[in-house]
Amino acid sequence: MALRSGKAGRLLRAWPLIMVLVVLLAGGVISVLLPTWIDPRIGIQNDPRITRLIYPTLGNPAIIEKGGSLVLEFDPREQDFGDPFTEISRFEVKARSSNGPGKVTKELPVRSQAVGYSSQWPEYARAPGQDRRIYLVTVTVPRDLPHDLYDVSIEARAGHVTLEDTQPHSLEAVDAYKDDFTFIQLTDVHVWGPEISYPGCTYQERSARPNGTDPKRKGAVYYQKAIDEINITRPDFCILSGDCIFGQRYFVQDNGPPWGDTTEYQYEMLWFYRETLRLDVPVYIVMGNHDSYNEGQEGAREDWYDNWRKLYGPLYHSFDYGAYHFVASNSQDWSAPQRELVDWEELILQPKKYKGELLGGGDKSAEGITAARLDALDDSKYTGQLAWIRDDLKAHQSSKMRVMVMHHDPYKKDGSGEMWGQAAGEGLKAKLKFDMTKLLGMGDGEGRLAIIRLMQDYRVALEISGHDHSDYVATRAEAARDLGSGFVDVFTWTGGGGEVKFVNTTSTQFQSGTESDRYPGYRKIHIVDGRVESFNYKEPKWSYPWYKDTNAGGITDLGKLTVPAISEVVTPAAGASEGVTLEVRNWLDVPLPAAYREVALPYLSGGYFYTVEGGAFGEVYENKGTAPDRLFCQVLCSVPPLSSTVVSVRKSAAPDSAHPAGTVVINGGAKATGSPVVTLALDASDAGGAGIRDMMISNTTDFEGAVWEPYRTTTSWTLPKGGAGMRTVYVKFRDAAMPGNESPVVKAEITYEPGD
């Protein structure tokens, strides 16, 4: 196979290097070591994306309320703890818009810097005999930073040397965390090119990676369309539960210009990384089995665990969205030798293990679930990742909800544990695959019941996963019916009060180009006030489809799917016209409640403003740093099922010269507070027609240091500290006319009574 790199091909590209020449004079024996030379230009190790700024990152971003603080983690030694610790005198941090027409660059003021240990990377914990200290840099997210996704750049001064790093798409600034929010789970994207061929692969909506010159190379078209749909839907965030790439066809290959010789991981993962940068919402990326393999002495001799750390972040970790806690676990918890790829010549590169495993003293491999096996588990004896998950869940019992994310579902199907290598699944193909994995010992992972029991004991409400490219939702009723007297309830929390929902999701990639009941899809998970409101497109288990004409729950001719289920068209496309028309099309059987688009429009004068029909304005802001003549409008609209909505944004027919008016109330009108952090209730109106756009809040009459921020009806505010006494908050409002008309200043008072 010409595209494949065999031993002969590697030797032709690499020359033998004499590493050691030992002459044993006593015996007259010469020992010469001639290892294969590895091209130092190939591999992720020579092109890392995470170096010094280790949090936040693309795969582990931060969602922070405006006015709140963010603790950055900075490692000047780039994970090489053998180097001396670097003394940093000062830091400077900036945020820059990741995508979209509005390019905002703003300083994130540094509040403090300290030497400590990572709270984001469990692997950065203290270790005996090793100095794993890093810098913890606390910054403020400005109140006037537009609601958007940002790249974070940091500059550190170490003597006369400046250390710099940037993490793209690593910060989202939000007005407030929600108790009614939506996130999207997508999984098994599997970016690969035409060199991949194995039973079950498909090239529907897929071609070679774009190289900038050949128009036929369109890349992973299905993933590009999925990203476009996510950007229109604009969930609060995304979770990608593993298998970004394929990674099992070659060790090193000439991929043509501009890449040349690369490892497969380097080629595919950087392809995936680049595509993912088109997302306009934060995405938490969890490792899958295809992302985790080990090249051993082949390729660039890289363990892809290390590569993951150089691209996305820790192998496992947790994160919060406000009061909601998420655990991103690594269910591919095998040792490096067990993950090492074996070359089956022209067939495939295959690791020794690829099924689910969570290490740390849990249960051994066995099919099914029994009460006796669950009762025998003792989490006080856990070590490794299981111990970390236990402690992390225990520390977040006060959260409104706990969600577990992993690649391999420990329950599917009916508790059999087929993703841990315990059961064959359904059909001849599944049975043959199962028999092969058993014969070669590719499964039989530990910790399946341990993680199920931890979710019961520590009140996890939802577990989401991927891996086998099909939809599945476990229910107590179905399991009880199928298992009869052998049913073991793993759904109900220990002690009652709630239950674990086990939800497995189909792949983003196509399963085939023919008729199938499996289709490219995703979960749209709706959370309301601490409960899982919904996650199905169609009952009882079906994911949302990426494509129009998908027959969810039935048979679909996948080869005919090309039209996205959600799309939009903006005319005119550029921002020179004083108005735009936005048409959003929704081919789903359910409504699209808040389609999103940000548009750039010319800045007006004379008191004129923009109006919107068919939708509503979200945040509207100017970018005075680079484009003072542009106004950036975030436009929202709802779209009924199987329909379209047209939104028109136009210049007003008449100017607005009227001054708005408003009020402010502290803590619902309370007379006193024991905390300096209070809640402001704001109410403003504009008789001139432009509508309220901004507000400015201050603790002083001169508004020194205050900024205009988007108008909200409630917001948190910090009063001046110090001794007990009266505190006054001053507010003024501004409408959307250009230039804006300001209201008279209004105020509210409250007595501050600090506790002891």
- Residue 488: half-sphere exposure toward Cβ, Cα within 13 Å: 17
d(CA 470, CA 509) in angstroms, rounded, equals: 11
Q: Quickly state the pLDDT bin for 22 (edges 50, 70, 90).
A: very low
- Decide yes or no: CATH 3.40.449.10 for domain 661-752: no
State the pLDDT at residue 551: 98
Mean pLDDT, to the nearest integer, of 184-197?
93
Number of Cβ within 10 Å of residue 663's Cβ equals: 15
Lowest average pLDDT, out of 19-33, 226-240, 527-541, goes to 19-33
Architecture label for domain 45-174 = Sandwich (2.60)
pLDDT tens per residue across span 57-79: 999 999 999 999 999 999 999 98
Residue 11 or 255, more confident = 255
CATH superfamily of 180-560: Metallo-dependent phosphatases (3.60.21.10)
pLDDT tens per residue across span 447-492: 999 999 999 999 999 999 999 999 999 998 889 988 898 999 999 9
Residue 561 or 756, more confident = 561
State the pLDDT at residue 574: 62
Instruction: Write phi, then psi, for 482 (nearest 5 degrees).
Output: -70, -35
**Quick check: 530 pLDDT over 70?**
yes
Q: Quickly state the pLDDT bin for 24 (edges 50, 70, 90).
A: very low
Mean pLDDT estimate for the chain:
91
**Quick check: 288 pLDDT over 70?**
yes
State the pLDDT at residue 755: 78
**Quick check: 424 pLDDT over 70?**
no
**Quick check: 514 pLDDT over 70?**
yes
Q: Which residue ranges make up each domain of the chain?
A: 7-44, 45-174, 180-560, 566-651, 661-752
pLDDT tens per residue across span 250-281: 999 999 999 999 999 999 999 999 999 999 99
Buried b (16+ CB within 10 A) or exposed e, 468-481: bbbbbbbeeeebbe
Mean pLDDT, to the nearest integer, of 186-193?
96
Residue 605 or 196, more confident = 605
pLDDT tens per residue across span 227-252: 999 999 999 999 999 999 999 999 99
SS3 content of the chain, % helix, strand, coil (to 5): 15, 35, 50
Would you list the DSSP string of 538-584? BTTTBPEESBTT--TTS-EEGGG--SBSEEEEEESSSS-SSEEEEEE
d(CA 483, CA 485) in angstroms, rounded, equals: 6
Mean pLDDT, to the nearest integer, of 31-45?
65
pLDDT tens per residue across span 372-394: 999 999 999 999 999 999 999 99
Residue 615 or 624, more confident = 615
**501-504/462-465 β-pairing:** parallel
Q: Quickly state the pLDDT bin for 707 (edges 50, 70, 90).
A: very high
Lowest average pLDDT, out of 140-144, 416-420, 491-495, 685-689, goes to 416-420
**Quick check: 605 pLDDT over 50?**
yes
Q: Quickly state the pLDDT bin for 32 (edges 50, 70, 90).
A: very low
pTM (2 decimals)? 0.93
State the pLDDT at residue 647: 97
pLDDT tens per residue across span 566-576: 999 999 976 67
Sign of the torsion angle spanned by Cα atoms 141, 145, 149, 153: negative
Q: What is the CATH number of domain 566-651?
A: 2.60.40
Domains 45-174 and 566-651 share a fold: yes
* 643 bridge partner residues: 586
d(CA 26, CA 549) in angstroms, rounded, equals: 80
